[in-house]
A and B are shown apart, each in its own frame.
Chain A
Amino acid sequence: MALWGMVIDLDRCTGCQACVMACKAENNVPAVGAKEARRGRIISWMQVLTEEEEEHGGEVKRFLPRPCLQCDNPPCTKVCPVYATYRNPEGIVAQIYARCIGCRFCMAACPYNAKYFNWYRYQKEAPGQNPDVSVRSKGVVEKCTFCHHRLQKARERALAERRELAPGEYVTACAEACPARAIVFGDLSDPGSEVFRLARSPRAFRLQEELGTRPKVIYLTEGEGRG
């Protein structure tokens, strides 16, 4: 069985936010409006975090694109009281919007703040939305699913054409959109895949590795060419 994962090369990331926009369009992530945004309620499954580098007195910024890290040992699924979030056999941490009771325990438990809450009903179903992704109601938690609907589609297509799912056939929207090709997506259990190779690079690290959450989003540190 596949183990979907992502490698993000921080050396290539320019902080252009193309991944963020692609994700929003692909997954019907609502725009909450300026007033709500000021109150800290932006929903952004993929978020580019910025950090000022201490050495250069704030002149140099670091970018850290952060989707849901799809932990293999997710702290959020453990605490869900109703099985609304769980790790599926292919390693994707799923969220069942129709089951979620909105207790926000998973948000409190996630060390990466990768879960978002619908404080209001931010949008209704409307033309122009991606029909493959459900529109979330108010009062439920939502999160990045590695564009899981794309996997389902690709798999159905392969099934209809009576063949195996080819590598590269299932890619997330953010990886597809990245102009710097900083985001690589693929099967971590396939030794031939690029993510498999990159995940073993000496530059590879995981966020908050010491917590033992075993994220499947792997970062490559900035190389020596910087500074």
Chain B
Amino acid sequence: MADPADTRDAALLFPIELTGRGFYVTVGLLSLLILWGAIAYWTQFDEGLGVTGLHQPVSWGFYVTNFVFFIGISHAGTLISAILRLSKAEWRRPITRMAEVITVMVLFIGAGQILIDLGRPDRMMNIIRYGRYQSPLLWDATSISAYLTASIVYLYIPMIPDIAILRDRVGKRKLLYTVLALGWQGTEHQQKVLNRAIAIMAVLVIPIAVSVHSVVSFVFSMTLQPMWRSTIFGPYFVVGAIFSGIAALIVAMLVFRKAYGLHGYLKPIHFRYLGQLLLVMSLLWFYFTFAEYLTAYYGNEPEEMHVFWAKFSGPFWPFFWGMVLTNFVIPVLCLVRLGRRTIGKVLIASLSVTVGMWLERFIIVVPTLSNPRLPFGEGIYFPTWVEWGELAGSFALFALFFVLFTKLFPVISIWEIREGREVGLKEVEERLLTYLPDTAEPRLAEPERGW
């Protein structure tokens, strides 16, 4: 199957073989942002969390928002790719790899946010030595490490045949590719092992991914605080996570499509399907948000209403209505009709959702803290350059990881594309035939026994 003479998919190997000026410019720009983040973190490490805008009572701000946001993005990945694989959606083939890469990269960034947030990062190891499982933070630690392990495996296993292609075709980094290819020759036995492992992982990764964002939401919903203590937070966060994940995936796909000239692989049809998925998630997200806020409003509990009005018309109104606009109004308007200019509309909707889901995480974390139950007066939160630096640095680090990955491994699965051409076409036809009524013995649709 991995015939080295097959040169049809040379475009996919191109970014690995040759490196242009664009790559160095990108890495340079990203490094500048990362430097900003690094300086910000060094300042914070040296002087204390006082350099941020956090205070009493808003003791959690950008970092926790980023944590929830980045962990949410990670659902792009593996979850979508697993669902598409399990449902045998043939259009998945050029998408899955990128989705899986996003997951792995962004999980490191997300978990890192908690470390940035610590007042005493030097005592980080206390979590390992003295951790206690009553705390939802430990649930996060366990669940995220399971997800990280699973998503690395789920990225690596389907990449083995591609690494073997690289080993045989690319002149560089022979040792790395030879080791990672695990002696892949495409024998029948090897293919059986690989397909079985991918199938198991696709099933396993879904419950793990769902558990990850449920326990992230439990950090908030296990407390007694108004507008946090909500039973729908688990599913609400999972829906939001998949929503933001699809948006991030679409943005990444469009960036690499342009940068590496992958127009032949990532066609408008792929974006239309993903756009429809995004539309469905947008509606689902709106439904959850509506249910969440209506319950609070109808109950009319004073403490909840403080937070509610702070979001609706108080100091946080630009964020709240901005979230409604970017998560619901813009995507629905863009995606409801995808006949013409599909790519442009899908791009606008995805960028909008990426911003909107960050706002959503922010609007969940901060207003509750800034409206304490006792009469302290409201606490307003203004982030400083340190927090902005960490935010920019985190995004840049994610982008840098992704770019470096594309220089080492193909960003679109070569063997899965080939499999689609060689096996998929026939399989789909056969599968379709099994859906249809049997035509072997033509029979009129008359009841066998008269009723």
Q: Do A and B come from one complex?
A: yes
What is the interface of chain A, defined by CB distance below 8 A to chain B? 36, 39-42, 49-51, 64, 66, 75, 78-84, 99-105, 107-109, 111-113, 116-121, 137-141, 207-208, 211, 213
Q: Contact: B223 with A117, CB < 8 Å?
A: no
Give A109's nearest chain B residue, CB to CB.
B223
Q: Contact: A120 with B47, CB < 8 Å?
A: yes
Residue numbers in B under 8 Å from A64 (CB-CB): 374-375
Q: A103-B114, A108-B369 are in contact. Are A139 and B59 (CB under 8 A)?
A: no
Q: A81-B127, A139-B120 are in contact. Are A105 and B137 (CB under 8 A)?
A: yes
Q: Contact: A78 with B134, CB < 8 Å?
A: yes
- Cα distance A208–B302 in the bound complex, in angstroms: 12
Residue numbers in A under 8 Å from B114 (CB-CB): 103
Q: Contact: A109 with B374, CB < 8 Å?
A: no
Does B118 lie at the interface of the complex (its beta carbon under 8 Å from any beta carbon of A)?
A: yes
Q: Contact: A118 with B48, CB < 8 Å?
A: yes
Q: Contact: B127 with A112, CB < 8 Å?
A: no
Q: Contact: B119 with A103, CB < 8 Å?
A: yes
Give B60's nearest chain A residue, CB to CB.
A108
Q: Contact: B375 with A104, CB < 8 Å?
A: no
- Cα distance A111–B306 in the bound complex, in angstroms: 14
Give B57's nearest chain A residue, CB to CB.
A113
- Cα distance A39–B219 in the bound complex, in angstroms: 26
Residue numbers in B under 8 Å from A39 (CB-CB): 55
Q: A102-B120, A113-B56 are in contact. Are A78 and B135 (CB under 8 A)?
A: yes
- Cα distance A173–B123 in the bound complex, in angstroms: 32
0/1 interface trace, chain B 4-16, chain A, CB 8 Å (1 if under): 0000000000000
- Cα distance A36–B337 in the bound complex, in angstroms: 53
Q: Contact: B132 with A81, CB < 8 Å?
A: yes
Q: Contact: B375 with A49, CB < 8 Å?
A: yes
Give B128's nearest chain A residue, CB to CB.
A82
Residue numbers in A under 8 Å from B223 (CB-CB): 75, 79, 108-109
- 8 contacts across the A-B interface (CB closer than 8 A): A82-B132, A101-B120, A102-B118, A103-B137, A109-B225, A113-B56, A113-B374, A213-B224
- Cα distance A137–B50 in the bound complex, in angstroms: 13
Residue numbers in A under 8 Å from B56 (CB-CB): 40-42, 107, 113, 116-117
Residue numbers in B under 8 Å from A119 (CB-CB): 48-50, 54-55
Does B379 lie at the interface of the complex (its beta carbon under 8 Å from any beta carbon of A)?
A: yes
Contact partner, A211, options B222, B224, B376, Cβ 8 Å? B224
Q: Contact: B60 with A104, CB < 8 Å?
A: yes
Majority SS at the chain B contact face: loop
Which 4 residue pairs spanning A and B have beta carbons closest together? Answer: A102-B119, A139-B119, A119-B50, A40-B55
- Cα distance A105–B132 in the bound complex, in angstroms: 13
- Cα distance A117–B123 in the bound complex, in angstroms: 16
- Cα distance A47–B198 in the bound complex, in angstroms: 59
Q: Contact: A51 with B49, CB < 8 Å?
A: no
Q: A49-B374, A49-B376, A99-B130 are in contact. Are A41 and B135 (CB under 8 A)?
A: no
Give A43's nearest chain B residue, CB to CB.
B56
Q: Contact: A83 with B132, CB < 8 Å?
A: yes
Residue numbers in B under 8 Å from A118 (CB-CB): 48, 119
- Cα distance A82–B134 in the bound complex, in angstroms: 10
Interface residues of B in 51-65 (CB under 8 A from A): 54-60
- Cα distance A162–B379 in the bound complex, in angstroms: 51
Q: Contact: B119 with A121, CB < 8 Å?
A: no
A182 to chain B, nearest CB (A): 18
Does B240 lie at the interface of the complex (its beta carbon under 8 Å from any beta carbon of A)?
A: no
Give B45's nearest chain A residue, CB to CB.
A139
- Cα distance A139–B114 in the bound complex, in angstroms: 14
Give A75's nearest chain B residue, CB to CB.
B224
A208 to chain B, nearest CB (A): 6
Give A103's nearest chain B residue, CB to CB.
B118
Does B126 lie at the interface of the complex (its beta carbon under 8 Å from any beta carbon of A)?
A: yes
Does B294 lie at the interface of the complex (its beta carbon under 8 Å from any beta carbon of A)?
A: no
Does B124 lie at the interface of the complex (its beta carbon under 8 Å from any beta carbon of A)?
A: yes
Residue numbers in B under 8 Å from A66 (CB-CB): 374
Q: Contact: A111 with B375, CB < 8 Å?
A: no
- Cα distance A146–B369 in the bound complex, in angstroms: 25
Give A213's nearest chain B residue, CB to CB.
B224
Q: Given contacts A81-B127, A116-B56, A139-B120, could you give 4 more A-B pairs where the C-beta distance is less than 8 Å?
A: A75-B224, A79-B137, A81-B135, A84-B126
Does B344 lie at the interface of the complex (its beta carbon under 8 Å from any beta carbon of A)?
A: no
- Cα distance A44–B49 in the bound complex, in angstroms: 18
Q: Contact: B373 with A80, CB < 8 Å?
A: no
Does B372 lie at the interface of the complex (its beta carbon under 8 Å from any beta carbon of A)?
A: yes
Contact partner, B50, options A41, A208, A213, Cβ 8 Å? A41
Contact partner, A103, options B117, B130, B376, B379, Cβ 8 Å? B117
- Cα distance A211–B131 in the bound complex, in angstroms: 27
Q: Contact: B54 with A140, CB < 8 Å?
A: no
Give B132's nearest chain A residue, CB to CB.
A83
Q: Contact: B135 with A36, CB < 8 Å?
A: no
Residue numbers in B under 8 Å from A80 (CB-CB): 132, 135
- Cα distance A40–B136 in the bound complex, in angstroms: 28
Give A42's nearest chain B residue, CB to CB.
B56
Give A50's nearest chain B residue, CB to CB.
B375
Give A78's nearest chain B residue, CB to CB.
B134
B34 to chain A, nearest CB (A): 24
- Cα distance A99–B120 in the bound complex, in angstroms: 10
Residue numbers in A under 8 Å from B84 (CB-CB): none
Q: Contact: A81 with B120, CB < 8 Å?
A: no
A205 to chain B, nearest CB (A): 14
A13 to chain B, nearest CB (A): 15
